[in-house]
Amino acid sequence: MMDDPLLEVLSRIAPGTALREAIDNIIRARTGALIIIGGEPEIDEDCEGGFRLDVPFHHEFVYELAKMDGAILLDQDIHRIRKANVELIPKKYATSAETGMRHRTAERIAKTRNATVIAVSERRSIVTIYKGQSRYVLHDLSYILTKATSALASLSRYDRLFRSAVRRLAESEAEEAVPLVDVIEALRRGYIALSIRQEINRYVVELGRDGHLIDLQLEEYPDIFRDWIGIWKDYQAENMPVPNPVILDAASWSQEMWANRLGYDQLDYRIEPRGYRLLHTIRLPDDVIEILMQEYRTLSEMRQASLDDFSQISGIGSQRARTIWAALHETYSDANF
C-alpha cells in the first residue's frame, strides 16, 4: 500500500474533528487564519512577538484567537494551544510561488520545518494545507463527492486495463521472454490506477464521517501496489532503484522515459522475468520471496527446480514449497490475476 503523507494531515481536519469545526467557524467569520501544527521546538526560532498560552486545545479558543492577525501555534498532537498572535519569520532561502503574504509565509514555513501549516484565506474562504513540499486545497463536501464518484469510474476502467496488461505479460512469460513495451504498458496503466486510488483515499479522509460510502465502493478494487512493485522488480535492469509510485510523478512520461527509469536505453528489448510478480500472486511474505531470489536469478530457473529443491531451502518449509511449486507449474489463467 502506498504511503501518502497528506492522509494523516487530512484526517486531522476532516468533518467531525474539533480543528475542522474551528476552521469552519473562521471561514464563516471571514477573519482568515494561519495555524501551525507541530514543528516544536525548532519552529520557535521563526517566531516573533505574540504571547505564550500553553492551554488545552478547544475549537472555540482557536476561533477567537484567529480574530487577531498573527499565527496560532498548536502542539503536534493538537492537544494544546502553544502560542497566538505570533509573527512568523521564515528562513530567507525558502521559496514560495504563492502571491498572498499569509500563504507565502505558510508555504515557506512548511518547507523548512517539520510542521503542518494551514492557511485560511480571509477574502476567498479557501483552506490550503502545506506539508513539506506538498500543497493541498480543501474543497466543500459536495464538490469532493462529485470528484470521488468520477474518480471511482476512472479507477474501474484503469483497474481493468492493468489486469489486461498483466495477462499479456503472463502469456509472454510462458515463452520466457517479454517485450519491454508490454512491461512499460503494464506499469503505466498500474501507475494511473494507483494514482487514482491515492486521490480517492484523500477524498475519503477529507470527507471524514461522510466518506464511508465512497470507502465501501473503493474496497471493491483490490490494492495493486504490491503487484506493481513486483512487475518493476521483475524487469528492471540490475542495480536500478525501485521507486515509490506515490512520488514518481510519471503521468506525462513517454515510453522512452519509462525504459530509462527501468535501466534500458532502447525499447526493443525482450526480458526474462525474475519471478517477483508471480510469487506475489500467491501472497508470499517479502522475506520468503527474497530468499527465493537469492537461490534463483530468473523465473525459468525456478520452474526447473523440483519440489524437493524448494523444500530444502532454509526458511521455506514443505507446505510452502508445495504452494510455490504448484504456482510455478500450473497453466496461466484469468484466476491468477
Q: Which residue has the cell 500450473?
A: 330
pLDDT tens-digit map of 98-155:
888 999 999 999 999 999 999 999 888 889 999 998 898 988 888 899 999 999 999 9
Phi-psi region of 263 (alpha: psi -120 to 50; beta: other; left: phi over 0): left
Q: Is the pTM of this model over 0.95?
A: no
Domains of the chain: 5-138 (3.40.1700.10), 139-273 (1.20.1260.110), 274-337 (1.10.150)
| Higher per-residue confidence, 251 vs 159 | 159
Q: Is the pLDDT reported for residue 336 higher than 50?
A: no
Long-range contacts of 122-126 (CB under 8 A, 24+ apart): 122/30, 122/31, 122/32, 123/30, 123/32, 125/27, 125/30
Strand partners, 84: 51
Q: Are strands 33-38 and 71-74 parallel, antiparallel or unpaired?
A: parallel
For 117, other C-beta atoms within 10 Å of its C-beta total 29
Q: What's the pLDDT tens digit per position in 252-296?
A: 899 999 999 999 999 999 999 988 988 888 888 888 888 898 888
Specify whether the backbone of 313 is left (phi greater than 0), alpha (psi in -120 to 50) or beta.
Answer: beta
Residue 203, SS3? helix
Q: Region 185-213: what's the mean pLDDT?
A: 91
DSSP annotation of 243 reads P
The pLDDT tens digits for 163-179 are 999 999 988 887 778 99
